[in-house]
Amino acid sequence: MKFFPLIWSNLKRRKVRTFFTLLSILVAFLLFGYLAAIRMAFSMGVDVVGTDRLSTIHKTAIIMPLPISYKDRIASVPGVEAVTHLNWFGGVYQDPKNFFPQMAVDTDTYLDMYPELVIPKAQVAAWKEDRTGAIVGRATADRFHWKVGDRVPIQGTFFRKTDGSSTFEFTIDGIYDGKEKGVDTSSFFFHYDYLNQAVRNGNLGVVGWYVLRIDDPKHTAEISKKIDSLFANSPAETKTQSEKALAQSFANQVGDVGRILTGILLAVFFTLLLVVGNTMAQAVRERTNEIAVLKTLGFSHGQALGLVLAESCLLAVLGGLAGLGIAWLAISAGDPTNGQLPVFYLPGRDAALGVVFAVLLGLVTGFLPALQAMRLRIAEALRR
């Protein structure tokens, strides 16, 4: 730390140049942090889905329904411990812009399948007793300022009641949270029996897809094959896969988001390397005589190398931390799309990776100028 005043004075030598270099680093790391949050949002919690859960969908497409009778046959497959089912509802609340997922579920089995959803037991009990009851995630409840006991009308788009109307009314019986960050808390769950009774007087006969828990994730491929073989050559053949694979397929529908964002960041950081590297090279050239004087006063080659590397790293780390800090503040303000990205936060591992990148940026951009300073001959430097 005794050399810090010297390093700091070198950064202040050209204040305007240092300011704009810091600004370029700040913007790059601000972009890094924001894109990391967007990547997490598009993954929709893929990293936190259960490894012991499988999804069985129609072989043609997930929008095709499956018979309700498949449930018992799936449950009979060795290795399957529990089965539940879901139906996509796709209704509209007040305005088509107010999108959020709505699913009709088997209330007796659904929450047991998803222990990462945290909700008070009293609210669960009230939900199971209320045929028109619903539970909603914290993100959606906060978005529309809903509270327990509110009556919420949702306009059906795919489903119509037997009386011809399309308005389904629900009572908010509970609000759930995620056990950890990354759990989607934007969904709205209600009774399958309510939908079944309303649209076909109890004769709907189909579900959207099944979710099952198995005894050992190592048997995923074997159990999936057994389930699909049960319904081979039937009018509704199935495709069973891990829930993580299904979630990832949804995330990839807009393209390989991870690869796209990685390409953007590589371009940004390559440009940043050129900018910061040029700044450090120019700074060392301007201080050739000063470095020679330091060596004359007894500074070793290693100390000359260390001073330039420390200056480069300090510049990169200051800009990087400022950029990541601003990104964290902006991301903490919430989803900028008003509900379209319910899982939106800066993961801790990405923040730590950003700090590592800042240090590496300082080392890489400062290495050649530092090497030049280390090799500088006193006599030649003083003649310049």
Residue range 333-371, pLDDT digits in tens: 776 766 556 667 788 888 898 999 999 988 888 888 877
What's the CA gap between 230 and 67, in Å, rounded? 13
Confidence of residue 161 (pLDDT cuts 50, 70, 90): confident
Average pLDDT score over residue span 245-265:
66
Angle between helix 257-286 and 301-332 (nearest 10): 140
- In 3D space, the residue among 335, 332, 280, 328 whose CA is nearest the CA of residue 308 turns out to be 280
Question: Which range has the worst mean pLDDT, 131-140, 184-193, 258-267?
Answer: 258-267
The residue with greater pLDDT, 11 or 355, is: 355
Alpha-carbon 354 to chain mean position: 16
Predicted confidence (pLDDT) at residue 37 exceeds the cutoff of 90: no
Average of per-residue pLDDT values in the chain: 84
User: Pairing state of beta strands 167-178 and 133-137?
Assistant: parallel
Average pLDDT score over residue span 22-29:
90
273 by Cβ neighbours in 10 Å (0-12 / 13-18 / 19+) ranks as middle
What's the CA gap between 84 and 38, in Å, rounded? 31
pLDDT tens for each residue of 52-103:
899 999 998 888 999 999 999 999 999 999 999 999 998 999 888 888 899 9
The pLDDT score that the predictor gives to residue 378 is 66
The pLDDT score that the predictor gives to residue 370 is 77
* DSSP bridge pairs for 167: 155
The pLDDT score that the predictor gives to residue 251 is 57
Average pLDDT score over residue span 237-249:
80
The pLDDT score that the predictor gives to residue 69 is 92
**Hey, is 32 helix, strand or coil?**
helix
The pLDDT score that the predictor gives to residue 145 is 93
Average pLDDT score over residue span 35-48:
69
Predicted confidence (pLDDT) at residue 14 exceeds the cutoff of 70: yes
Residue indicated by tokens 């076909």: 200
Predicted confidence (pLDDT) at residue 373 exceeds the cutoff of 90: no
Phi-psi domain of 339 (left: phi exceeds 0; alpha: psi -120 through 50; beta: other): left
Confidence of residue 34 (pLDDT cuts 50, 70, 90): confident
Count other Cβ atoms within 10 Å, centred on residue 14. 15
